[in-house]
Chains A and B, each alone.
Chain A
């Protein structure tokens, strides 16, 4: 368990470093196209560092806002709070994660934060209604394991950093397509035509790299390990298995509140009913049937 934690902390640094390098490359290219690669590089490095810090300290708040989660009090949801507090005791956490809720009939949940003392668990109201106590405990235990393993830090950084790089590259591509097309006739300082194509090629190469970074954050191994840890926390694997079955058979996977950047955080892939290139490229979750099978075999 401690090796897992160390590994996750190490991978978190790798992600931040990789992000800075990629941003540096993008900035350098951007700056070079404008005439000064060094300026672009320095600016990019500065923005990269600032944004990395923002991502580390506020990443969870950004993710919570993106997902539409609202904080709830113990008075409003005593049943949920009791379960979270009980499992935090079982996991040996010094203080329980904060509790958030998404008002949606879909069955889903996720955890986020930078470490166990600054973490939160979010659950849909649909989940609260449709699962019984053992099933809900299984789901919460799964999320608690992600928190304990520092998976959440990895997953948060991947969501926030990779997400913004995708946005940035989209923006750059678009602005050059626009500016380049109009500018190549009036401006004669540099013939940007062929360089645009080069840029497009670079970005096309980088996109699957970003997807790979997200996959680094969420591997099947990590999910199976969280399932196994959840079973160890509750000493009752059938609880989570039964919850996963209900989640699998639920027709509504919560697509409205999810987007590509944070899809991998949820216990069940919100896009599993979508068939698109991006859905498969960013496909991060192991198959539910296999997870259920492993739990029932314990």
Chain B
């Protein structure tokens, strides 16, 4: 066979290998992105499930904080109805803020602070808030890695053809963060 034919075959083989390598690494990264997104949802759900118990416990000791407890319940409901990642992020930020205010106000009620159930819930929720924060961080890190990988040369040439699209970060849109008003 002619020499140029051999060269063509080798070049084609190299291109095929390149495509396979890129495809596999993008699959791995995309799965990591999906996995870390699922982890965020796991923690969000955990927080969602813990809140009713907290509201009931606080209600027993802090009857005057009706407004605050309502704002917590409302923020929790808003999480349920959030659809896109940006909506979920700002709903989550809002809920975090109301919970933080609730725990700050709880400092004024020594009987509440002595309640074992409340203390356990507080630790659980603080732990879960922390995990939500780290899950978001990890997800965003993975998204950045993935987006970089599909946008940088030479992968960008074939990433689109192979069906890999840019992913969005998990963060609240700028300008929508309003300070929570605390009334004592």
Whether chain B is bound by chain A comes out as yes
Chain A residues within 8 Å of B, Cβ to Cβ: 78-79, 82-83, 85-87, 89-92, 235
Task: Please tell me if the beta carbons of B32 and A92 are within 8 angstroms of each other in the complex.
Answer: yes
A90–B32 alpha-carbon span in the complex (Å): 13
Q: Which residues of B sit under 8 angstroms from A85, Cβ to Cβ?
A: 127, 131
B137 contacts which of A79, A82, A83, A90 (Cβ < 8 Å)?
Answer: A90
Query: For the complex, is B39 an interface residue (Cβ under 8 Å from A)?
Result: yes
Task: Please tell me if the beta carbons of B123 and A89 are within 8 angstroms of each other in the complex.
Answer: no
Knowing that A90-B137, A91-B138 are A-B contacts, what are 15 other residue pairs whose CB atoms are under 8 Å apart, sorted by A's residue number? A78-B123, A82-B128, A82-B130, A83-B127, A83-B130, A86-B127, A86-B133, A86-B134, A87-B134, A89-B134, A89-B135, A89-B138, A92-B32, A92-B138, A92-B142
A85–B127 alpha-carbon span in the complex (Å): 9
Q: How many residues of B contact A (CB 8 A)?
A: 18
Q: Which residues of A sit under 8 angstroms from B133, Cβ to Cβ?
A: 86
Q: Which residues of B sit under 8 angstroms from A82, Cβ to Cβ?
A: 123-124, 126-128, 130-131
Number of cross-chain contacts by CB at 8 Å: 39
Q: Which residues of B sit under 8 angstroms from A78, Cβ to Cβ?
A: 120, 123-124, 127
- Name the residue of chain A whose CB is nearest to the CB of B134: A90
Query: For the complex, is B98 an interface residue (Cβ under 8 Å from A)?
Result: no
- Name the residue of chain A whose CB is nearest to the CB of B128: A82
5 closest A-B pairs (Cβ-Cβ)? A82-B127, A90-B134, A86-B131, A86-B130, A89-B134
- Name the residue of chain A whose CB is nearest to the CB of B124: A78
- Name the residue of chain B whose CB is nearest to the CB of A82: B127
- Name the residue of chain B whose CB is nearest to the CB of A93: B138
Task: Please tell me if the beta carbons of A92 and B131 are within 8 angstroms of each other in the complex.
Answer: no
Task: Please tell me if the beta carbons of B123 and A79 are within 8 angstroms of each other in the complex.
Answer: yes
- Name the residue of chain A whose CB is nearest to the CB of B137: A90
- Name the residue of chain A whose CB is nearest to the CB of B36: A92
Q: Least Cβ distance of A77 to chain B in Å? A: 11
- Name the residue of chain A whose CB is nearest to the CB of B130: A86
User: B105-131: contact bitstring with A at CB < 8 Å (1 yes, 0 no)?
Assistant: 000000000000000100110111011
Q: Which residues of B sit under 8 angstroms from A235, Cβ to Cβ?
A: 137
A86–B128 alpha-carbon span in the complex (Å): 8
Q: Least Cβ distance of B16 to chain A in Å? A: 24
A150–B152 alpha-carbon span in the complex (Å): 29
Instruction: Please indicate which of the listed interface residues A78, A86, A235 has the most CB atoms of chain B within 10 Å of its own CB.
Output: A86
Q: Least Cβ distance of A146 to chain B in Å? A: 18
Q: Least Cβ distance of A141 to chain B in Å? A: 10
Q: Least Cβ distance of B84 to chain A in Å? A: 22
A82–B124 alpha-carbon span in the complex (Å): 8
A79–B120 alpha-carbon span in the complex (Å): 10
Known: A78-B123, A78-B124, A235-B137. A89 touches B131 (CB 8 A): yes
